[in-house]
Each structure stands twice: as structure tokens, then as C-alpha cells.
Chains A and B, each alone.
Chain A
Amino acid sequence: MRSSASLRPKGAFEYGMWLFTRLSGLALLLFGGVSMGVAFILGGRTQLDMPALFRWIFFPNPNHVINSNIPDVEQGWSNTFWQVYSMAMIFLASGHAVNGLRMVIEDYLTRPLLVRMLRLALLVLWLGGLVVAVFVILAS
């Protein structure tokens, strides 16, 4: 069981999602580190509690971090760079999460029809969620 070849899943889709999970996870760590650093530079060093810090790290959007008492949030976060940044982050995070949920579902449920329906529901939820997220980012 120690050989590395046995760890890679078979099939193009499964292999693609396997790689995507690894790479998006590492990318999300990088994204989170950058937005935490920028939150500190923008003046949050001494006034962020844990919930506020999480708001800044995971969704740097003026609407989302407005209640953290830092005056220049509007100028700091609302430009095209941070909008594209947030969209990339949302895409990676939601893809990572939905694929993880799909894997858990396929591990514990075995009836094929049920699994296929749940996969379809997840796909619809994921795409709908992405549309809402893009709207929220562009509207703020």
C-alpha cells in the first residue's frame, strides 16, 4: 500500500479533480496569506478580533468587512484587482468544497440513482452559488 502509483485515482475526471483539490488547496493558502497581510497593512493590525480577521481573509470585499471599524476599507478593497482576486478565490474555494462533498457522498452512498441525483443537485447549487457570488462582488 506504500507505492505512490496506487494513490492516484483512475480516470481523467477523477485525476483532474484530484490534482485540482491539491493545487486549489495550496493556492487558497497563498490567497488567504496575501489577504491577511493586506488587511494588516490597511490598518487592521490592532483592531481585528477573530471573526473580523476571518472576514478579511476569506472574502476581501468592502461589503463583507464593513463592520470592522477600519476607515479606508472602501478605497482599499473596491477596485478591479480585488474583485478579480475575490472571484478567483470563490471559484477555487467552492470548487474545492463541492468536490469534497461529492467525494464524501460517493464514499458513503452506494445507490447509483441517488448518487447521480445528488451530483446533479450539487452542480446546480455550485453554479447558482457562483453566479450569486459574482453578482455580490461586482455590486459592491
Chain B
Amino acid sequence: MTLNRRVSVRAGLRYKGELGMANWMLHRITGLGILLFVGMHVVMGFLGQQFADDTAFAVNAVYQSWAFQLFVYFSVLFHAFNGSRLALMDLFPGLIRFQRELIWLQWLVFVPAYGLPSFIMIQNSLVGA
């Protein structure tokens, strides 16, 4: 089976993979995001500690801000939730029949698990703890 990879962006987005495809894309994006963030963090930490580099401190200030932490928290939590669902489905293939239900369950747990701490973070930053 050969896949036709030369499709337009519009056609790629129109693919009707529904929630499964959205989760797959988010899993990739959040995974690459975490890798980029941790890599930057290690390099900037090294530069800051060894050479007291100004750029390193500036980058440090950006990713310790509450707004950036909302992205980091989203990436880590989504990747963890989606990854555990994938691992459970792969290790117990009987669950694959219930993929749609499992995705809904995943989002049902994710929304409060992400929303409540985020709400508190935003409230603390804007109003004060």
C-alpha cells in the first residue's frame, strides 16, 4: 500500500479522522514541544550557570512565567493522559473496540485536571494569592 503524501494542507486538515486524529496531532505537537522545552532548558541552564549569560537569564524568565507554564502544563498533562490511554489500548487490545468512549473519558478527566490548577494559576497571577 502506498500513501499519497503530496496533498495540500487544506486536504490534510479535511481528513475525517475526528477526535482520534486530533488527539494524534496534539500528541505529536505536545511531544515535540516538551522535547524543545526541555532541550532549551538544559542548554540555557548550562549557559546561565557556567557563563552567567544574559540571554539564558532572559529565556529563563520567559519560561518561568505563569503564561508559559500554562502551555507546559497542558503539554505534559495531555501527553501523559493520551499516552496512558494509548499504552493501555496497545497492551490490552480488547479495549480498542471502545476507542471513542475512551477518548471521551480521557477528555472528561483532562478538562478538570487541567482547568482547576490553571484557574488557580491565572487567579493567583492576576488577582494575587
Q: Is B19 an interface residue (CB 8 A)?
A: no
The A-contacting residues of B in range 2-25, CB under 8 angstroms, are 5
The B-contacting residues of A in range 3-21, CB under 8 angstroms, are 4, 7, 18
Please give the number of chain B residues whose Cβ is less than 8 angstroms from any Cβ of chain A in the complex. Answer: 27
Q: Is B128 an interface residue (CB 8 A)?
A: no
Identify the A interface with B (CB < 8 A): 2, 4, 7, 18, 22-23, 25-26, 29, 32, 49-51, 54, 97, 100-101, 104, 110, 129
The A-contacting residues of B in range 37-78, CB under 8 angstroms, are 38, 42, 63-64, 66, 69, 72-73, 76
Interface contact A2-B87, CB-CB below 8 Å: no
A–B complex contacts, Cβ < 8 Å, 21 sampled: A2-B96, A4-B96, A7-B90, A7-B96, A18-B90, A22-B87, A25-B83, A25-B84, A25-B87, A32-B80, A50-B66, A51-B64, A51-B69, A54-B72, A54-B76, A97-B31, A97-B34, A97-B35, A100-B35, A101-B35, A104-B32
State the Cβ distance, B59 to closest chain A Cβ, in Å: 13
Identify the B interface with A (CB < 8 A): 5, 28, 31-32, 34-35, 38, 42, 63-64, 66, 69, 72-73, 76, 80, 83-84, 86-87, 90-91, 93, 96-97, 117, 121
| Bound complex: CA A97 to CA B117 (Å) | 26
Interface contact A97-B83, CB-CB below 8 Å: no
Most chain A beta-carbon contacts within 10 A, residue among B34, B84, B87: B87
| Bound complex: CA A32 to CA B121 (Å) | 21
* Nearest opposing residue in chain A for B63, CB measure: A51
Query: A4-B96, A97-B34, A97-B38 are known contacts. Are A22 and B91 too (CB-CB below 8 A)?
Result: yes
Interface contact A22-B86, CB-CB below 8 Å: yes
Residues of B within 8 A of A50 (CB): 66, 69, 72-73, 117, 121
Interface contact A104-B90, CB-CB below 8 Å: no
| Bound complex: CA A23 to CA B88 (Å) | 10
